[in-house]
Amino acid sequence: MKRHPLDPFKHDLVEIENHLRRSLECEHPLIQEVAQYIITSGGKRIRPVLTVACSRLYGGDRDKAYALSVVPEYLHAASLLHDDVVDEGELRRGKPPAYRVWGNRVTILSGDYLYARAIEIATTFGSPEIDSVIARTVQLMAEGEIIQLVQSKDPSLDRKTYYAVVERKTGALIAASCAIGALVAGAREEEADALWSFGASLGKAFQIVDDCLDYIAEEEEFGKGIGTDLKEKKITLPLIHCFEAGGERASKIMDILNKERVEDEDVGLVTTLISESGALKSAYEEARAHIDSALEALRTAPSSPTRDHLEAISRYILERRR
């Protein structure tokens, strides 16, 4: 059986889970309940693993790395709470999203709490460099959400705008996960910058694959409804490739997007059309190019088993099904 790239981090994942629970302190039981709902609902924990691994690249202290690793995961969880309210999502990791359980206001305020808690934890390390990375990341994530809210349902959205969102949301947070791991280990600024570049490219590939899986994954694998992006009329890279190719297929997809409501049968038709056009293949090729860029940046780090494990995680992103 093929070894999963996260297998070398099994012990780390146990420690990460312990720290995620212990660090989630809130005096108000309702906020605590909502925060725990999203934090304990699963997820691959790729961001905290990257923080721990990038710290290990430079000989960092394990306990410090585990404690810091909760920061990107809390930021990620906060963004999911907010995204689901904005997008009116129906499923999150196979469960009803928090806003459907507690309503919009409680969910948004709980997301705000997680943002604040992440920032508070980051400041305990006494590192202006780490504080700066986290502040910059939260700013970029907010910008990305606004750009997506304003323009992502515009059928004329181009790849420049698509990447403006991806680089600020998925890319920035994964980049930060890597950079702060290096910084807490005492790496030099240029070494942390290289790992930011590694994570940024990794994040772009991760999001592109996620956008492709919205059309081709199995729902029980994916943890959310298949075709969710299309039903929400989000323009992602597979659609952009198809629109760039033009022709009858692009016109048919545009007709579907102009409907008041996108149905399940529409998702099936669009999946067929973008597959026939080669758009999915082109999107995956673009993701592969980002992985190549990520690996090039990673090779500036010292050679070690940990670097090998990070290379394996990078390649796995192209193969994942959820």
* Phi and psi, residue 61, nearest 5°: -70, 130
Instruction: Output 113 or 260, whichever has higher pLDDT.
Output: 113
The model's pLDDT over 179-221, given as tens digits with 9 standing for 90+, comes to 999 999 999 999 999 999 999 999 999 999 999 999 886 655 5
Give the global pTM: 0.93
The model's pLDDT over 140-167, given as tens digits with 9 standing for 90+, comes to 999 999 998 887 667 677 889 999 999 9
Question: Would you state the pLDDT for residue 151?
Answer: 76
- In the chain, where are the structural domains located? 7-316
The model's pLDDT over 62-95, given as tens digits with 9 standing for 90+, comes to 999 999 999 999 999 999 999 888 877 777 777 8
Bridge partners for 92 per DSSP: 95
Going along 10-50, which residue ranges are E strands?
none
What is the full DSSP assignment across 250-307? HHHHHHHHTSSS--HHHHHHHHHHHHHHTHHHHHHHHHHHHHHHHHHHHTTSPPSHHH
Q: CATH says 7-316 is which class?
A: mainly alpha
**Residue 288 CB contacts under 8 Å (≥ 6 apart), including other chains:** 205, 318
Q: What's the pLDDT band for 168 if we cut at 50, 70, 90?
A: very high
Task: Evaluate if residue 40 carries a pLDDT over 90.
Answer: no
Q: What tokens appear for 51 in the block?
A: 């923080």
